[in-house]
Amino acid sequence: MIAKEMVSYVKNGSAIRAMFEDGKKMAAEVGAENVYDFSLGNPNVAAPKEVKEAVMEILNEEDPVMVHGYMSNSGYEDVRGVIAAHLNKLHQTSFTENNIIMTVGAAGGLNVVLKTILEDGDEVLTFAPYFVEYRSYVSNYRGKLIEVSPNTVDFQPNLTEFAEKITAKTKAVIVNNPNNPTGVVYSEETIKKMAEIMEAKQKEFGTEIYLISDEPYRELAYDGVEVPYLTKYYDNTIVGYSYSKSLSLPGERIGYLVIPNEMKDFEEFVGAANVANRILGFVNAPSLMQRVVAKCVDAQVDVPFYDRNRKMLYEGLTNLGFECVKPEGAFYLFMKSPVADEKEFCAAAKKQHILLVPGSSFACAGYVRIAYCVAPETIQNSMAGFAKLAEEYGVK
C-alpha cells in the first residue's frame, strides 16, 4: 500500500543490500582483513581535533537555550557571516551572511534548491558519470534528469553534447567538482566554456538556467590543482557545500548553500529556499554543528593521508597495466574495465575479495569506481588480487 514509486526503490535497494550482505558473509568466511572493500565513499579519517575542542568550548561558554534552539531557517546569522568571510578570503568573492543558507548536508541543500526551482517536467542536465542520487533528487520534484554522455578522453564534461541538449525546458545543470566517481577536477577552461554556452542559451530561450555546483569534495584536491569557484563565472550559480569530507562529519548532516547577489531575483530565491528548507522538514541545519563548523573554518582533515592512498593505488594499478583516470580530487579512482561488461569484472574482482562499484551505477559502463578512503594496508594487500585480475584479463 506504499506509493508505487517507492516500491521500485525498495526493489533496487534490495540489490545493494544483497551486495552488502555478500560482503559481510565474505568477511565472516575469510576474515575482514582479507576483504578489500573499495565500494564505500565513507571518510575513514577522523575529524580534526578542532571539532572536539569547538564542541567543548561551545557547551562550556555559550547559552544552551541558544546553542540547541531554533533560529532562522537559514541558520545562525553569525555562523553564516563567518562562512561568508572565509569564502571571501579563499575566493576573492564578496559574500555576506545574506548569501548563505545552512543546510542538512549537501544532499539537503540540493533538495532545497530543486524544490525551490522545479516544476513538473522541467529538465535538469548533468554530466555522466554522476552521483546516482541526483536522479532521485530531481524526481522528488517531478523534474526530469537528462544525462550528457561521458567524455572518456579526459572526463571533462562533453560540452558539444551539453549545448545540444539544453532546451527551453532546461531549468538547471548539476555539476560535481571534484567529481564522484572519476576524481577529475573540472578545469577553469571547461567552466568558462560551460558558462558561455549557458549564457547564450538563456538568451536564446529567454529563460533562467541555474548552475548547481555540488562540492562536498572541494578541499580534497591534490598536486595543487585549482578547483574553480563557480559563482565567479556565471551569475545564476548556487554552490552546495558539505563538511562531510572536509571535516569528516558525514553523519552530522551539516553544510550550506551559497546564493550570490548576482542571482536573478535574488531576494525571492533566498526567501523561497528558506521556505523549502522549512517545509521539506529540515527546518534548519543542526544547531550545535552550525556553531562548531564556524569555529573550524580553518581546520581540515588529513588530506595528505588520502593523497598517499591515491598515489599508491594509482601507481599500483597502472604498473599492473590497468588504464586509470588520474584522480586529482575526491577519494575515488575511476578505472577502465578490461572487459566491456564491467559487471563481469566486478564479479571476477569479488573472487579476489576485492569489492568495486560498476560504472553503470554512475551512467558510465565499462569502468569501475575504486574508493580509496581506506586503510593503506587495504590498498597494499589488494595488489596481489589485482595482479591476478591483470593476468586473467591480459591487461599488459
Query: Are the C-beta atoms of residues 172 and 117 closer than 8 Å to each other?
Result: yes
Which positions from 250 through 289 interact with a second copy, judged by CB under 8 A?
Answer: 250-254, 264-265, 268-269, 271-272, 274-276, 278-289
Task: Give the nearest distance from C-beta 374 to a second copy in angstroms.
Answer: 12
Candidate residues 95, 137, 186, 222; the one interacting with a second copy per rule CB under 8 A: 137
Q: State the minimum distance, in angstroms, from the CB of residue 64 to a second copy.
A: 4
Whichever of 139 and 352 has its CB closer to a second copy, that residue is: 139
Residue at 326: amino acid letter = K
* CB nearer to a second copy: pick between 250 and 321: 250
Tell whether residue 133 is a contact of a second copy (CB under 8 A).
Answer: yes
Residues 6+ apart with CB under 8 A from 91: 229, 231, 232
Q: Does 216 bind a second copy (CB under 8 A)?
A: no
- Does position 359 interact with a second copy (CB under 8 A)? The reply is no
The answer to whether 366 touches 337, Cβ cutoff 8 Å, is yes
Nearer to a second copy, 107 or 389 (CB): 107
Stretch that binds a second copy, among 48-56, 82-90, 225-233, 385-393 (CB under 8 A): 48-56
Query: Can you point out the beta strands (E) in the chain?
Result: 36-37, 100-103, 123-127, 144-148, 170-176, 210-214, 237-242, 255-258, 324-325, 332-336, 354-355, 357-358, 367-371
Contact status: 46 vs a second copy (CB under 8 A): yes
Give the CB-side neighbour count of residue 218, counting CA atoms within 13 A. Answer: 21
Q: Please check whether residue 124 is in contact with residue 172, taking contact to mean a CB–CB distance below 8 angstroms.
A: yes
Query: In terms of CB distance, is 68 or 351 closer to a second copy?
Result: 68
Q: Binders of a second copy among 87-106, rule CB under 8 A?
A: 104-105
Q: How far apart are CA 360 and CA 340, in angstroms?
A: 11
| 369, 362 Cβ separation under 8 angstroms | yes
Q: Identify which of residues 44 and 352 has a Cβ nearer to a second copy in the complex.
A: 44
Classify each residue of 132-164 as buried b or exposed e, where b means 16 or more C-beta atoms within 10 Å of its C-beta. Answer: eebbebbeebebbbbbbebbbeebbbbbebbbe
> What minimum distance in Å lies between the beta carbon of 289 and a second copy?
7
Of 3, 15, 153, 340, which lies in the binding site for a second copy, with binding defined by CB under 8 A? 3
**Of 27 and 275, which CB lies nearer to a second copy in the complex structure?**
275
- Ramachandran quadrant class, 330 (left: phi over 0; alpha: psi -120 to 50; beta: rest): left
Which triple of cell numbers denotes residue 342?
A: 564491467
* Cβ 213 to a second copy shortest distance, Å: 16
Q: How many CA atoms lie within 13 A of 335 on its CB side?
A: 33
Report the residue from 98, 152, 187, 207 that binds a second copy according to the rule CB under 8 A: 207
Question: C-alpha grid cell for residue 97?
Answer: 551572511
Stretch that binds a second copy, among 59-67, 93-101, 225-233, 327-335 (CB under 8 A): 59-67
Size of the site for a second copy (CB under 8 A): 78
Residue 152 binds to a second copy (criterion: CB under 8 A): no
Output 253 or 310, the one with its CB closest to a second copy: 253
Strand order in the sheet with 332-336: 324-325, 332-336, 367-371, 357-358
Closest CA to 50 of 301, 358, 223: 301
What x/- string results for residues 101 through 130 when contact with a second copy is judged by CB under 8 A?
---xx-xxxxxx--xxxxx-----------
Question: Judged by CB under 8 A, does residue 208 bind a second copy?
Answer: yes
Nearer to a second copy, 133 or 315 (CB): 133
Q: How far apart are CA 88 and CA 74, in angstroms?
A: 19
CB of 272 to a second copy, least distance (A): 4
> Between 270 and 313, whose beta carbon lies closer to a second copy?
270
